[in-house]
A and B are shown apart, each in its own frame.
Chain A
C-alpha cells in the first residue's frame, strides 16, 4: 500500500489515539507519544508496526499520540489513517489485511 498524502485518524480523547501518516522515501519511521509509554510503549509500537506490515505499507512517517488506547483501538486507527493516506478505494480484504 503506497502512502500518497498526509492523513489522520482518531482523536485525543482519553482511551483513544491520534494517528498521522505521511509519505516517506524509505522505510517506516514511527514516532510515539503516550500517556502510558513506560508500561505499554513497547506493545503500542509492536501493534502499530504489525498493522502497517499487514497493510503492506513499506514507506511512511507515522506519528501516534496515544491517550491510553487499547490495542484494538490503536490497530483500527492505524488502519484507517493508512487507508486514507493511500487513498485506498478498493475492496477491503476483511480477515486478510484487516483483521
Chain B
C-alpha cells in the first residue's frame, strides 16, 4: 500500500507492526488516545536502601529476563559508556532476545555488533544508528526490525505504551542515594537529562548509574527519587571530551558561508522575522555561521528573539547572554558553553515530551517560527532523508528533524547541492524521514528553492530579491548535469528497518543492502 509520501509499505510490515502507513501530517490531530502507566514496586519501607553494588545486582533485582526491553538516553553522545557497560552485563548473564529502546545510538556503541550477531539483541528502537550498528542492521544481521523514530516520536511511543520499557538505565552526572538525578555537575557533565525523563515516567524499573554520588537531597532533581528503583555507582559513565563535541570551530568554508548567508537572507525577509520571533538551528558549520549573521541583523534592526529551542550551542546561548534573546529552552547541549549557559535563569531545561511529542496537548515545536535543518538528501517532492546514506547504508538519525520541520511555520533545510559526487538534491530520496509537506525552503550553494505549497514565502522572497531563487527541479538538474544521474541503489527484498513518522505511522521502510 502506498502511503502519503508515495512510498510502498508492504502488507506484511503493516501486519507485523500493527502500524498504519503514513497518512499526512495531521492525521492524528484531535483524535483521542489512551496513555500508558508503568507497573511499579512502591518503596514504603524506610529501611530500604536503593544502592546496589554493581550493574549485575541491579539487573537481578529488576528481574532481567529474556525478551525484555531496556532503555538508554544519549546525552553523553559519543562519550557514552553506559550502553556498552549494561549490555555487556546482560550479555554475560546469557540473556537473549533483548530489545533496546534508546533515544539514539552512535559510533560509541559498535561493541553491540557481536551481541546483534549472537542474538542477545534482536530489536532496536532508536532515533538512528551510526557506525558499526548501522552497518550491521543494513546487512541484515538484526533478527527483528530496527525502528527509527524522532525524539518526539519516541516520547509518543513510550507514553502510549507502544514501547513498553522493562528496565530504564539512566546515566546521571550526579545522583544521591535515593535516586534524585541531575544532568549537571560531576565528571560527565551533560547539562540536561531531557530525553530520559519519559523513561523515568513510564518504565517498570528504573536504574540510575552515576560516577558522582552526592549527599541527599540532590535538588532540584531533573529526574525525581519517586521514579528511581536503584542507584549504582560506577567508575566512569562518560568520556567528558567526547560529550561536548559539537563545539564546531567557526567555518571558513566559502560554500558553507554562502549557504549561511542565503539562509539568513531567507529568515530576515520572511514575515515571521519580527520582535519576539522563535528559532531553532543545528550544529553544522553553516547553521552556526547563519546564527551569527542573524545576530548582526537582529542588532541592526533592534529585533529580539522571543525564544530559542533545541539542542543548543554556544552561538545560540550567546544570544541569551548578550540580551538579544529572552529565553532558551534546552533538550540537549552540544558544547560546554551551552552547559555553562544553564546557570542563566532564562535558560530552561525542558523534557523531550515538552519539546516535541506530537500526541500531547501541544509541544514547543508547534510554537516555532523558524527551524534551520540539514539533510543528507532532499528530493523534488521536498522529502528529506536524514537516516539512510545515498549508498543505502543506515548512517544517521532522525533526531528532532521531523518534529521541528512539522511544527515550525518556516522550515529551512540547508544542503549543499553535491556531497563529493553524490547529488544531495535528487529525484527521489533513498528513504523518506521527513515528509515534503513539512519542508518549506531548501537552501543550497547553487540557489534557494521554495516549496510551491508556500506561495506566501515565495512571494516574500521574490519581493525582497535577496537570494537566487530556483525551482527544486532546476536544482536537481544542475546537480545531475555536473555528476550524472545516479543509478538506483540495489537492495534485497528483506526489510530490516522502518522509518516511523512522528505519529507512529510508517513513513518508509529500509531494506537490506545488496552485497557487491
Mark the stretch among A50-58, A63-71, A81-89 that contacts chain B: A63-71
Chain B residue contacts of A67, Cβ below 8 A: 420
The reply to whether B392 and A68 contact each other, CB–CB distance below 8 Å, is no
Partner-A contacts on B (CB < 8 A): 390-392, 420-422, 482-484, 486-487, 489-490, 516
Could you name 22 residue pairs across A and B whose Cβ atoms are closer than 8 Å? A14-B420, A15-B421, A35-B420, A36-B391, A36-B420, A37-B516, A38-B489, A39-B391, A39-B422, A39-B486, A39-B489, A40-B421, A40-B483, A40-B484, A40-B487, A67-B420, A68-B420, A68-B421, A69-B421, A70-B482, A70-B483, A71-B484
Kindly list 15 other residue pairs between chains A and B, CB separation below 8 angstroms, not including A15-B420, A39-B421, A68-B421: A35-B420, A36-B391, A36-B420, A36-B421, A37-B516, A38-B392, A38-B490, A38-B516, A39-B390, A39-B391, A39-B487, A39-B489, A41-B487, A68-B420, A70-B483
Chain A residue contacts of B516, Cβ below 8 A: 37-38, 41
Minimum CB distance partner of A34 in chain B: B421
Interface residues of B, dominant DSSP: loop
| Interchain CA distance A41-B487 in the complex, whole Å | 8
| Interchain CA distance A40-B391 in the complex, whole Å | 10
Chain B residue contacts of A68, Cβ below 8 A: 420-422
Count of A-B contacts with CB under 8 A? 42
Chain A 4-44: CB-based contact to B (< 8 A → 1; otherwise 0):
00000000001100000000000000000001111111110
Chain A residue contacts of B489, Cβ below 8 A: 38-39
Report the count of interface residues on A (CB-CB < 8 A).
Answer: 16
The smallest C-beta distance from A74 to any residue of chain B, in angstroms, reads 10
Partner-B contacts on A (CB < 8 A): 14-15, 35-43, 67-71
| Interchain CA distance A69-B420 in the complex, whole Å | 8
| Interchain CA distance A70-B479 in the complex, whole Å | 12
Partner of B484, one of A15, A38, A43: A43
Chain A residue contacts of B392, Cβ below 8 A: 38
Chain A residue contacts of B421, Cβ below 8 A: 15, 36, 39-40, 68-70
Chain A residue contacts of B391, Cβ below 8 A: 36, 38-39
Chain A residue contacts of B487, Cβ below 8 A: 38-43
Chain B residue contacts of A40, Cβ below 8 A: 421, 483-484, 486-487
Chain B residue contacts of A70, Cβ below 8 A: 421, 482-483
Chain A residue contacts of B422, Cβ below 8 A: 36, 39, 68
